[in-house]
Every structure is written in C-alpha cells, then in structure tokens.
Chains A and B, each alone.
Chain A
Amino acid sequence: MSRNRPGIGQYVLLTLLAIVFLYPIWWAVSSSLKPAAEIIASPLSIGELTLDNYRAMFADVPIGTGFLNTALVLLVKGGMTMVFCPLAGYAFAKYDFPFKNVLFGVVLLTLMLPTLVLIIPLLLEMSALGWVNTYQALILPGSVDAFSIFWMRQTIAAIPNELIDAGRVDGAGEFGIFYKVVLPVIRPGLAALAVLTTMNIYNDFVWPVVAVNDTEHQTLQVVLATLAQNVTGNRIGADFATVWGELLAAGSIAMLPLLVIFVLLQRHFINGILAGSVKG
C-alpha cells in the first residue's frame, strides 16, 4: 500500500475519521465553558464564555481531594511498578536460579485472567486487614502485575550478555550492574511502561469504586461518578442544564492532565500501547 501517492479521497476519509474521534471531546470542553442554559438551548454555537460551571462544580464535589488522592496513588503505586517490575524482570532475563521457570510460569498463568476475578477476595482481604477506606487499599493491589514483569523480562533479555559481563569485569556489584548498565539501555521501554502505567492508574475506576466508600479517599474517577448525584442532592430541583454544565466541567478538567502529557509524549504513548499489546 506504500507505492501510490495518497488520493484526495483518502484525505477526506481520514479527516472524517479524525472529526468523529475528536468532536465529542471538543464539544464537551467547549460546552463546559458556556452558560449552563446555552448547552441545551443552542448546543452548536459558542457565544459567551464563562467559568460558572466550574465554580459550581468545585462547590458541589471535592474534586480537589480527588485530584490529590489520584496523584498520591499514582506516585506510590506507579513508583512500585517502575521499581519492582524491571528489577524482577532483570532477574528472570539474566540469571539462572532454582525454581526460576516455576515462578515465572505462575506469573504467566495469571496474565490472561480477567481482573474482575480478584475484586471479591481482595475486598475481603482488605476488610480482614482493616484496610477499608485507606490509601493502602488503593495502592497495594495491582501495584505489580504479570504483564509489566513479562514485558520487562522481554525488553531486558534483548540486552547482549557481553555488556553485563563488561560491567562485572569493571567491578560493579550486582545491583550496580542493574542500575548503571541495564536501566540506561532500556530507557525507551521504561518510558513506555511509565506512560502505560500512568494511564491505567489515572483512569482506573473498578477497584477504587469498590475499595473506598468515604469521600476522604475517593480518587478522581470516583468523585466524577458521584457528581450527578451530588448536584441533584445539593439543590433540590436542579435542572438538566445545571447538572450537565457541571458534568461537562468535571469531565473536561479530568481529561486535561492526561491529554497534555499525551500530546507532549505521544511517541512514548504510542510505543507503550503497541508494546502493551504484545501481551497476547
């Protein structure tokens, strides 16, 4: 398909597809900046711009708390993934030790399991540990996963053994080799793992919504999901326009951080998504 110069029809089709993918986001963001009543009265035109929906939304839900909680979970949970998985992946890629294959086999076995299977036993585990409504509950489950270690092992296995032996000859300790030789070489892979992990943790909803039921620990996505209820609860008889204005404001502000990171790091993102798909 690479020999012909692309025709005008191809551009038209691609542009149509791009509009389909981008318009809902554009509409949501631009509508969130309109006076609430206008969202229903004239959904297509943009006249006066206002931050009223945002002000009302900030008053109705603790979205700031949601952002802070998500940031905290992202930092600690993501940090654990980024340290533990490359380290273990290195051991599986470059060392021989008893029970190596058995241990790795156990990890692979869980690769294909739907995550929903773990929800119920994890909930019981959390309540047995007294961790319901805690940050530990949000952070620890899912902080390492079969896929990340599998992928790190693949990436590190591609490093020539000579490079590692050279480090050993230079007198570096075992951890020194990992830190000074292995990590710098797999930097693109680490960058892709970081963006994929960030995306998964930031957008996660299923676990946070069952693990936490107080406002203090709600992550951003959970705060978002409770918004409509809060608006109608706070103002009896709130009309559609009010609720929608706030929904769109909250949605827009929640999309923003990832979209900005995505546009800045899109090459790593797309590599991460592609590498993530080696999973199958």
Chain B
Amino acid sequence: MKQSIIQWFKFGSPQAFYPLAGRMIPWFWAAAAAFGIAGLWISFFVAPTDAQQGEGYRIIFVHVPASWMSMFIYLVMAFWAGLGLALNTRLSGMMAQSLAPTGALMAALSLWTGALWGKPMWGAWWVWDARLTSELILFFLYLGFMALQAAIDDPRRADKAGAILALVGVVNIPIIYFSVKWWNTLHQGSTINLTKAPSMAHTMLWGMLLMALCFWMYSIAVALTRVRAIILERERHTDWVKHAVE
C-alpha cells in the first residue's frame, strides 16, 4: 500500500512524468486508430438507415462522442485544477492547462455537428434551448480558462486563478447533462435507450461507444503530447530538462 502511494507521488513530479507520458502516447494513438476504424465502419456500413431521419441521423456518431468528451474533459480538468489548488503540486496545473484546448475543441465540434444536425431535422441551425445554451456556456468556460491563464505571466498564479474559474464552472456540467430532463427542450432526450427496436439500438449503441472510445483515446494522446510541451516550457531552467532533450 505504502509502496503504491510512493509510486503515485513519484509520477506526480514533472520530471518522472515527462518520459512516462512519452512512452504512453503511441499506445493511445494506436487505440484511437483501432477504435476509430471500427467505429467508422459501424457508423457507415453496419448501422441501418433510420426510419425517421434517413441517413441524416449518422451525425450522431460524432455528435454524441464529442459532446460526452466536452463534458468529461471539463470534469477531469477541474479535478486537476482543484488538486493543484489544494496540494500545490506542479504537475496538476500543467495537466489542467493541457486539457483545456482539447475540451474546447470537443465543445466546438459538439456545437458544430449539432448545428448541422439541427438544420435538416428542426429547420434551424441554432435555437436558444437549454441544452444548446448550456453547451455554448461550456465552450466559453474553456475559452475563458485559456484566456485567463494566458493573461497571467506567473504560471503558478495563472494556475490558481484558472482553478477557481474551472471549479466554479463545474456547476454547468450537471446543468448540461440534465437539461433535457429539467426543461422542456427541442433537443431530444438521452440517446442511450435500449427499449427501442433492439437490433437498431444495439448497432447504434456500439457505433457510438466505439467512436466515444476513439475520441477518448485521442483526447488522452493529444493532452499528453501537449503536457510534455508545457512541462519543458515551464521547467526549462531546471537541470533535469537540460539533460532530458538530446
């Protein structure tokens, strides 16, 4: 037990985490590619045409994973930010900073694919509906977090300010998630629903889950790549960094 705690603290230092992340990145890329190929195959060649929405519903296979990841990445980012605020660990703030652009990208994709889905199905690119509006706020929270951190020169102070913003913004996540239940909105309810026609629901579910896993692995791979850059940028005046690059 004690040994394992020591291990966690060891990899909590940027110096130990930098090479570890480097070794992990190729595996996450490989997993992202494998899940992506399988997910795209199901999305386009296995999942049948929808009875109501025709082929237009296939947007679901990128819309739902992007939306899930936009919310999940925010929670992970807020977790790291909060940990950094509480324990004052160096790596935590770097992790939070590294996750923000990927989260913003996922939120942007969620909004973009949602607009492209909304137009043919609802007749509108955008409506000020609870689900859509709260997702837009999430996108702005990511942008605000990034802008705030970029505006403060001292990285440790930037981490603290960003952490407070990230933690306050967490309240938005349950609002997005439950918005379709709490308010009577245009956005459809939760997609995972196994009570529909079983064969249809199952292939759709599998396609969505595989695509979600692909997005998940992608997010980890790209966030680890970025955190390595952040580690070197922030620790560039330390001795270990001078020896870490060949």
- The answer to whether A and B interact is no
A residues near B (Cβ < 8 Å) are: none
